[in-house]
Amino acid sequence: MGAKLVPLGVTVLLACLGACPGQAGDAIVEVRIAEYRYEPAELTVKVGTTVRWTNDEKRVSHSILFTGPGGFESDRFFPGESWTRTFDTPGSYPYSCGPHPEMRGLIEVVE
């Protein structure tokens, strides 16, 4: 699974404004972070999809903390930065923000 910080604007991507069921594998789907919430908070994607979280806050850093089995936390990323993860295995991936646990999201990965 790839996970890295990417400066905003480096990668051209397919943006999703709502839940994106049926995204083709190898697609990039975007989740924006604004006003202490994930937009969209829940996504359904196909195996092989990369999700990119972009911090659109003005002054606050965030992280992505996967809370299920095998969970881990991303590095913190600051306004204008993003973090990506490619989902290679079907399943449910609940997550929150490490420093702001009230922020919650879910990625459902399907075949």
Residue 68, amino acid: G
Task: Check if the beta carbon of residue 100 is closer than 8 Å to that of residue 38.
Answer: no
The string of pLDDT tens digits covering residues 73-101 is 999 999 999 999 999 999 999 999 999 99
Tell me which residue range forms the domain holding 15: 3-110
Specify the DSSP class assigned to residue 89.
Answer: S
pTM of the model: 0.77
* CATH number of the domain that residue 30 is part of: 2.60.40.420
Task: Check if the beta carbon of residue 84 is closer than 8 Å to that of residue 52.
Answer: yes
Q: Is the dihedral of CA 56, 57, 58, 63 positive or negative?
A: negative
Beta-bridge partner residues of 67: none
The string of pLDDT tens digits covering residues 21-63 is 444 446 899 999 999 999 999 999 999 999 999 999 999 999 9
Domains: count for the chain: 1
